């Protein structure tokens, strides 16, 4: 049977709810997993989740819009979160910011046109003695300099090459 | 090499074995005798918390480890979870026995997702060795721990907001009372303790209350793990007895020339050089462990602007003083940087800061003006009458 991406996602949400339980305590774990996999939580996903957990989709949206790692905006495959809190600021996060923006051609809060990178700010991520620090998805990088930004992005692009096949399968299935 | 010598020297599971041999009230009285206070910053006596939860009658109880370490400048919980996860899980299991809980939850902040693999592996090892699960080490105690990932919200470090997040709601703090020890996760009695508190609880059970009291002051017993960053030669994680002076701490970390030190993170106090003789302890300068050193050339208005941007971003928006007050303070800092703030307006801002301290619903808004008020009081000469070029 051919599945559209929507149906596939709905099936995945049902499987997650089956695994984690159909009550509201499963809400944040389900949302994190959907965000990780699909890089966004759209209104359709919120509707499906609301139906499964027996809550209004507006309730789902209220939670999605509250947390920094959720949110209903589409993000790139790699979300780069640069720490902007004081210790990282004192260690030169502004220069890293400028280099990230220059190398990707986007500003903070934006996503590259090919959907691979999003630049976001993060508040203190607990690497204050080794700043400036940034997260690429779940991976932490410390003592980042404007020069190492290029290597970090290169590493992501190599990983992206592998995952590109998977995303094609989703699109054409 | 090891940043936390006391933890590294612990005999694994000695605390748990001692707890399994003791009665529940004895465990709590040992913790009580040690004088252990919450290591997350609030300094609430751990034994009192456990006692309330132990006394509550309920079908289910929970032990929740608060690993939502988000206070600017704090990273000791990350190091503890990386290097001594078993000590934390041991502490949770002891707490489980003490209060009569069978379920433990480690609330891990979203930013620490990379720690999860190692922590799950540590939990699996403990289950294999019968240190978790049914009938721990042949005793009647049943206890297990699961990990819950946070989703990026500083406010979830506040215990009732953390519980809201666990329950699938926005992380908006609740009114207290009722306290989580009576009405916590899903309405059941829940003990919420910081990572470091639980690790110390395990050490105390292993070595006894007098061992813990040998360090620290009368009101702030024991040792504490500090996270040091900023303008110093040796940033990192340190273990010090409570009650040391700011000057002693600076000498240890190589920051003697500091003009000020922020203790307790953005929500803490900014201590100027003339007060470096004060002690770091719950009765003087309380801290969750964050120490940010400011060197002689650091601009205190940049510091304030960064902290206030943080609070504006992280305020949950539930109560008006915090939601509206923090942006006004931030605007005031920008005016000071631009050199367009009158003394009369600065006084108004200070009054607003005091209003935030009094009228905000939770600790975030109550403490967010601390740094502002302290800098205005201690660095007036530096911040007034700026030329626009400084901005």
CATH, domain B223-294, list 3.30.70.1520, 3.10.20.600, 3.40.309.10, 3.40.50.720: 3.10.20.600
Tokens at residue B23, please? 């009665």
Domain with CATH 3.10.20.600 in chain B: 223-294
Which residues does chain B have within 8 Å of residue A86's beta carbon, measured at their own beta carbons? 72-73, 230, 262, 266, 292, 303, 306-307, 310
Among B113, B72, B76, B41, which residue's Cα sits nearest to residue B313? B72
Number of domains in chain A: 2
**Residue A70 maps to a domain:** no
Strand partners, B221: B216
Domain around A57: 5-64
User: Burial, A154: exposed, middle or buried (Cβ in 10 Å; 0-12, 13-18, 19+)?
Assistant: exposed
CATH number at residue A96: 3.40.30.10
Minimal C-alpha gap between B305 and chain A (Å): 9
Minimal C-alpha gap between A129 and chain B (Å): 5
Inter-chain contacts counted by CB atoms under 8 A, chains A and B: 124
The answer to whether B151 contacts A127, with C-beta atoms less than 8 Å apart, is no
User: Burial, B389: exposed, middle or buried (Cβ in 10 Å; 0-12, 13-18, 19+)?
Assistant: exposed
Helices and strands (DSSP H and E) totals, chain A: 7, 4
pLDDT in tens, A87-103: 999 999 999 999 999 99
Show Cβ contacts of residue B32 under 8 Å, excluding neighbours closer than 6 positions.
B45, B47, B48, B51
Q: What is the pLDDT along chain B (391 residues), one digit of tens a residue?
A: 478 999 999 999 999 999 999 999 999 999 999 999 999 988 999 999 999 999 999 999 999 999 999 999 999 999 999 999 999 999 999 999 999 999 999 999 999 999 999 999 999 999 999 999 999 999 999 999 999 999 999 999 999 999 999 999 999 999 999 999 999 999 999 999 999 999 999 999 999 999 999 999 999 999 999 999 999 999 999 999 999 999 999 999 999 999 999 999 999 999 999 999 999 999 999 999 999 999 999 999 999 999 999 999 999 999 999 999 999 999 999 999 999 999 999 999 999 999 999 999 999 999 999 999 999 999 999 998 887 654 4
Interface residues of A toward B, Cβ cutoff 8 Å, are 23-29, 31-32, 53, 62-63, 66-70, 81, 84-87, 89-90, 122-131, 135, 138-140
- For chain A, the C-alpha Rg in angstroms (whole number) is 18
**Whole-structure pTM value:** 0.94
The answer to whether A90 contacts B166, with C-beta atoms less than 8 Å apart, is no
Among B142, B108, B101, which residue's Cα sits nearest to residue B122? B108
- Chain A contact for B304 (CB, 8 A cutoff): no
Minimal C-alpha gap between A128 and chain B (Å): 6
Homologous superfamily of domain range B5-213: NADH-ubiquinone oxidoreductase 51kDa subunit (3.40.50.11540)
Minimal C-alpha gap between B208 and chain A (Å): 32
**Residue A71 maps to a domain:** no
CATH, domain B300-390, list 1.10.1740.10, 1.10.3720.10, 3.40.50.11610, 1.20.1440.230: 1.20.1440.230
H or E stretch at B272? strand B269-272
């Amino acid at each position: 049977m051919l599945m559209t991406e929507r149906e596939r996602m709905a099936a995945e949400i049902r499987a997650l709810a089956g695994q984690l339980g159909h009550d509201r305590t499963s809400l944040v774990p389900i949302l994190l997993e959907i965000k990780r996999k699909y890089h966004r939580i759209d209104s359709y996903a919120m509707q499906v989740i609301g139906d499964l957990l027996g809550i209004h989709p507006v309730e789902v949206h209220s939670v999605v819009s509250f947390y920094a790692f959720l949110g209903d905006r589409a993000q790139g495959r790699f979300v780069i979160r640069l720490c902007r809190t004081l210790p990282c600021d004192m260690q030169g996060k502004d220069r890293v910011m400028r280099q990230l923006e220059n190398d990707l051609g986007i500003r903070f809060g934006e996503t590259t046109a090919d959907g691979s990178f999003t630049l976001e700010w993060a508040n203190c991520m607990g690497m204050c003695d080794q700043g400036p620090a940034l997260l690429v998805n779940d991976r932490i990088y410390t003592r980042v300099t404007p020069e190492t930004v290029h290597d970090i992005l290169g590493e992501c692009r190599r990983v992206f090459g592998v995952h590109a096949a998977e995303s094609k399968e989703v699109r054409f299935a | 090499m090891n940043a936390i010598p006391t933890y590294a020297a612990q005999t694994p599971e000695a605390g748990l074995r001692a707890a399994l041999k003791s009665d529940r009230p004895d465990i709590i009285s040992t913790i009580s005798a040690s004088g252990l206070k919450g290591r997350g910053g609030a300094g609430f006596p751990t034994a009192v918390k456990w006692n309330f939860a132990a006394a509550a009658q309920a079908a289910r109880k929970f032990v929740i480890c608060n690993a939502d370490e988000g206070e600017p400048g704090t990273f000791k919980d990350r190091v503890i979870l990386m290097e001594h996860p078993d000590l934390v899980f041991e502490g949770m299991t002891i707490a489980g026995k003490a209060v009569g809980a069978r379920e433990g939850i480690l609330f891990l902040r979203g930013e620490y997702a990379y720690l999860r693999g190692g922590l799950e592996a540590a939990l699996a090892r403990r289950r294999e060795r019968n240190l978790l699960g049914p009938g721990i080490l042949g005793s009647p105690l049943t206890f297990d721990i699961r990990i819950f990932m946070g989703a990026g919200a500083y406010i979830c470090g506040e215990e009732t907001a953390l519980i809201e997040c666990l329950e699938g709601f926005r992380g908006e703090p609740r009114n207290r009372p009722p306290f989580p020890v009576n009405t916590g996760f899903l309405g059941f009695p829940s003990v919420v303790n910081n990572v470091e508190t639980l690790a110390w609880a395990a050490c105390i059970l292993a070595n006894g209350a007098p061992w813990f009291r040998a360090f620290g002051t009368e009101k702030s017993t024991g040792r504490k793990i500090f996270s040091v960053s900023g303008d110093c030669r040796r940033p990192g994680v340190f273990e010090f007895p409570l009650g040391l002076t700011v000057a002693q701490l600076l000498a240890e970390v190589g920051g003697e020339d500091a003009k000020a030190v922020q203790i307790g993170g953005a929500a803490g106090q900014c201590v100027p050089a003339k007060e470096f003789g004060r002690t770091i302890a719950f009765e003087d300068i309380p801290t969750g462990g964050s120490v940010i050193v400011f060197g002689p050339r650091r601009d205190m208005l940049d510091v304030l602007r960064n902290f206030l941007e943080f609070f504006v971003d992280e305020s949950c928006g539930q109560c008006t003083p915090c939601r509206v007050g923090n942006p006004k303070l931030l605007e005031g800092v920008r005016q000071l940087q631009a050199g367009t703030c009158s003394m009369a307006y600065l006084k108004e801002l200070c009054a607003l800061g005091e209003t935030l301290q009094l009228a905000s619903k939770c600790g975030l808004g109550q403490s967010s003006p601390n740094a502002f008020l302290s800098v205005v009081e201690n660095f007036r000469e530096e911040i007034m009458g700026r030329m626009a070029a400084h901005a």
